[in-house]
Amino acid sequence: MKIQKKITGAVRPCVLKLAGTALITCSLLAFDHPAAYATSISGDSLTILRLRENKRDDQLFPLYEYLNLSASDTGSQGTISVQLGGWGRIDLGDRSSQRRSDGDIQYGFLSYRANKNNLQFNAGRQWVVEGVATERLDGLYLRTDLVAGFTAATFVGTPVTTNPNFEGGELIYGGRIAHTMPKYYSIGLSALRNETDAEGLREEEGVDLWLHPIPQLDISGRSSYNSLSKGWAEHAYTLSVTPMDALRLSASMQRIDYKDYFYHVTTSALSLTNGILDPNEELWNVGGSIGFLPTKNVNVALEYNRYEYEIAGDADYYGVTASFTTPTALTAGASFHRMDGDTGPLRYNQYRAWATQKFGPADLTLDFFDVDFDSSITGRTNTYSLAAAAGYNFNRSLRVTADIDYQRSTDFDNELRGLVKLSYAFGFGKEGK
């Protein structure tokens, strides 16, 4: 793996090509778009002020603005929309990170969705989720239904990565072909390749499935193969059985081969070169859960997970969660989990209790979370956090929330954090949330 060189100066040619292609395609779509039946513009703004101290007693008051915008225009053939979202920060107190101000465009793309054949075309910064691909890219995405139950999707672009240690590549492309019988199953084959100067950084193929031969049975999962390291990176499958509305049984299996799964990341924290992750390690995670609704308002879940390793010691994780909800005012829950590993840090009890109560336009939330270790970690066996939040809805669009969070951890004796949040939704027309 090569250390990432910061790219400065000229924009990469492939980006220009992609941008040009996107602009031309979008212009053609817009030009061809018949008169609008419905136009919708919506957005939401989230202004957040955080208040905390760090280990050096710096007073940190970062102020954030998150803004999401969506505009769509529906015609007789389909809908053209523009989606844009990002955030910015400025430090009102001491510096909270390397830069006093920062920000990010999280997504920004133009989309066309046809009323027929689930045809969708996106151009811009987007998050593509297709089989083995879970990628953010600046580029193009096309998906459509084909004849006889087949569907196809393809994408190409520049990977949008953060590259603190290793480069994320200059070009990513791939696709997925699937066959679906909506009542019974969907099985897909997918592939992706990520490269720099035609040299492959990642090359993955996979099969994904979703089987539901009867309404009570649901099996989903995927297997992915790493062509560069020539090994199966992951097998992950979950089976759910719902013999009655009030009862759901679930079993899951995951196998990870470290040398194939962690083959190319951009951070040394998850790299096989960091001395923490052993390339020869293999993980098997097998588990199950039972979900039970004794009444419509009560939900109880029991879960068990077994982690088995080729090299490290094994661990069991099991517990119970119960929650109670009334249709209008109260949501409450509690959980207990036990981690039974082979070393001190992997032997602990985890407790949680939470409740949210509405009082007309106002609401109050309490959330307690406690981890009790069998042996001390940096001189402490018990760590906990207690959070209280209060919110008030001025109307359907404007809401203010404030919360305070007290923590006692292995790193901090007493840490108090605060957050004030103002959210405002605006626009007209009908969109999702």
Partner 1 sequence: MKKISLMVLMGVTLSFLYACANTSSIARVHPEEVKGLPRCAECHTDTWTALNHQAQDFYLKHKFYAAQQRAACSTCHKESFCVDCHAHKEEIKPNDKYKERPELNLPHRGDYLSRHRIDGRINPASCVKCHGRENNERCKTCHR
Minimum Å distance from CB 246 to partner 1? 11
CA angle 148, 184, 143 (to 5 degrees): 50
Give the dihedral of Cα atoms 81, 192, 162, 272; nearest 10 deg. 160
Separation between Cα atoms, residue 148 and residue 146, nearest integer Å: 7
Residue 154, token pair as written in the block: 């393809």
Give, in order, the Cα–Cα distances in Å from 38 to each of 72, 82, 430. 8, 14, 9
Nearer CB in complex with partner 1: 205/405: 405
**From start to end of 212-329, where are the E strands?**
217-226, 231-244, 247-257, 282-295, 298-309, 315-325
DSSP state of 268: G
Q: Which of 19/431 has CB closer to partner 1?
A: 431
Residue partners of 49: CB distance under 8 A and separation at least 6: 61, 62, 63, 64, 92, 419, 420, 421
Q: Are 69 and 87 a contacting pair, CB within 8 Å?
A: no
Output 414-420 pairs: Cβ under 8 A, ≥24 positions apart: 415/52, 415/53, 416/52, 416/53, 417/50, 417/51, 417/52, 418/50, 418/51, 418/52, 419/48, 419/49, 419/50, 419/51, 420/48, 420/49, 420/51
Instruction: State phi, psi for 134 to the nearest 5 degrees.
Output: -130, 80
Q: In whole angstroms, how close is the CB of 243 to partner 1 at the nearest point?
A: 14
Total Cβ atoms within 10 A of residue 187: 14
- Is the CB of 310 or the CB of 411 nearer to partner 1? 411
Nearest to partner 1 of 18, 70 (CB atom): 70
In angstroms, what is the minimal distance from the CB of 78 to partner 1? 8
Q: How far is the CB of 146 from partner 1 (least distance, A)?
A: 4
In the three-class reduction of DSSP (H, G, I as helix; E, B as strand; rest coil), residue 20 is classed as helix
One-letter amino acid for residue 94 of the chain: D
In this complex, which beta carbon is closest to partner 1, that of residue 18 or of residue 202? Answer: 202
Query: Which CB atom, from 384 or from 424, has the smaller least distance to partner 1?
Result: 384
**H helices within 245-344, ranges in order?**
258-261
Q: What is the smallest separation between the CB atom of 139 and partner 1, expressed in angstroms?
A: 14
Closest approach, Cβ 335 to partner 1, in A, equals: 9
- Residue 427 tokens, joined: 């626009």
Distance, in Å, from the CA atom of 306 to the CA atom of 320, rounded to the nearest integer, reads: 15
Minimum gap (Å) between residue 126 Cβ and partner 1: 8
Cβ-proximal residues to 31 (8 Å cutoff; 6+ apart), any chain: none
Nearer to partner 1, 50 or 225 (CB): 50
CB 19, min distance to partner 1, A: 18
Burial zone of 124 (CB within 10 Å; 0-12 exposed, 13-18 middle, 19+ buried): buried
Q: How far is the CB of 117 from partner 1 (least distance, A)?
A: 5
CB of 9 to partner 1, least distance (A): 21
